[in-house]
Structure 1
Amino acid sequence: MKLPQIRIQSQNALLGLQTKDAQLTIESGPAKQTIQQPQADIQIKTTPGKLTIDQSKALADVGIIPTEQSVKQHVNEAMQTAVEGSKKRRRQGDMLMKIENGGEPLAEIAKQNGHKPIKDFNIGWIPSGDGVKIDYEPAKVEINNKANRPIINVEPTENQFYYQPGDVETYLEQKNWIDIDFVNVKYVGNHFEMEV
């Protein structure tokens, strides 16, 4: 005896997926930086040294004196010479007035006027040991400096983002189907029989 059978075969549909990943790109440049270093402020104040040499005493020792002092000295000497000369002329005049008293006043006066007195001479051009005075004031140097801080400017660079979105694409990789088959199935009708 053959039993009727229904045979069903089916296949599911298969979906395919194709994906594309999203991409993110970040670009960041270096920060812009400028540095300025001003020079330090330096002030140097110099007071020069002072050397004073006083040789007026040494010059006076050898007979070299300042003009003003020399003029005064010569005036005093001339005045003294004039006074002494005046006294000498008066004394000699008195001798001539008393010529009647005897003696030889003319010869005496001629002798006085005819010979100049002998002057003593010694080495006079050697100055004394302390004739030159030296005074020295050393130089002074004042240094003032002021350091200037560096000037730093920083300008950050903004980051740049580039985004490419991802994508998903679906497609039908395999169609679905169903197959139905009948085995041993007969249709019995009026006076006939049919196998389905």
Structure 2
Amino acid sequence: MQIPQIRIESQVSRIGLTINKPNQSIEQPQADLSIEQPPAEMEINRLPSKLTIDQTLAKENLDLKSIFKRGDENSQLGYQAFMDYVSKTVQEGAELMRIENGGNPIANQAERALDHDIVFNTGNTPSQNSVKVEYTPSKVEIEWKRNKPNIQVQINRPIHEYTPGRVDVHIEQTPSLKIDFKL
């Protein structure tokens, strides 16, 4: 006896995937930076020091006088000598006018003419504080002007490139069912 047979063949489906990966690149360019530093400005004002030494009095003590000073002194000495001579002449004339009063005025006048002091000068030493010294110190004024730096920054945007990924789905094997009867 033959038994009928049923034969079943089945085939499952198979899915295939094709994957394209995403691609991303990010690049950050450096910022453009410009720095300029102007130099500082400096101004110096200086009043020079002043030293004054006046040794006129010391030179005069040593009899080293200027021509003008010597001229003034000589004119005063000449005037004084003239006035002394006039006074002496008047006095001697008055004595001679009174010769009758007695005495010996002519001999006295001759004796006084020969009697005079001799002055001998060995030189002088300048007196203390005869040199005058004046000193004015210098003054320095410094003015600064600082200039701020000029900084300019330009920020560059990032370069971003992106390619999205993709998945393609396809059927590699289709499902099938086969049924056979055999007697």
Instruction: Please state which band the TM-score falls in when normalised by the shorter chain.
Output: 0.7 to 0.9
Match of 1:15 in 2: 15
For residue 161 of structure 1, report the CA deviation from its aligned partner.
0.7
Match of 1:138 in 2: 137
Q: Which runs of 5+ in 2 are unaligned?
A: 97-103
Match of 1:191 in 2: none
| SS of alignment partner, residue 128 of structure 2 | coil
Match of 2:26 in 1: 26
What amino acid is aligned across from residue 20 of structure 2 in structure 1?
Answer: K
- Would the alpha carbon gap of residues 117 and 169 (structure 1) be closer, same or farther in structure 2, given more than 3 Å must change? same
For residue 84 of structure 1, report the CA deviation from its aligned partner.
4.8
Q: TM-score, normalised by structure 1?
A: 0.69
Q: TM-score, normalised by structure 2?
A: 0.73
For residue 30 of structure 1, report the CA deviation from its aligned partner.
2.0
Greater relative contact order (CA < 8 Å, ≥ 6 in sequence): 2
For residue 167 of structure 1, report the CA deviation from its aligned partner.
2.4
- Would the alpha carbon gap of residues 33 and 85 (structure 1) be closer, same or farther in structure 2, given more than 3 Å must change? same
For residue 86 of structure 1, report the CA deviation from its aligned partner.
6.1
- CA–CA separation in structure 1 for the residues paired with 2:9 and 2:26: 55
| SS of alignment partner, residue 79 of structure 2 | helix
Match of 2:100 in 1: none
For residue 2 of structure 1, report the CA deviation from its aligned partner.
3.9
- CA–CA separation in structure 1 for the residues paired with 2:90 and 2:71: 28
| SS of alignment partner, residue 76 of structure 2 | helix
- CA–CA separation in structure 2 for the residues paired with 1:153 and 1:26: 25
Match of 2:63 in 1: 63
What is the aligned length? 178
| SS of alignment partner, residue 77 of structure 1 | helix
Q: Which moved more, 1:145-154 or 1:160-169?
A: 145-154
What amino acid is aligned across from residue 10 of structure 2 in structure 1?
Answer: S
Match of 1:154 in 2: 153
- CA–CA separation in structure 2 for the residues paired with 1:92 and 1:2: 208
After superposing on structure 2, the runs of 4+ consecutive aligned residues of structure 1 that deviate more than 4 Å are 82-96, 115-118
For residue 169 of structure 1, report the CA deviation from its aligned partner.
3.0
For residue 54 of structure 1, report the CA deviation from its aligned partner.
1.5
Which has the greater radius of gyration?
1
Q: Which runs of 5+ in 1 are unaligned?
A: 97-102, 185-196
Match of 1:193 in 2: none
Match of 2:52 in 1: 52
What amino acid is aligned across from residue 182 of structure 2 in structure 1?
Answer: V
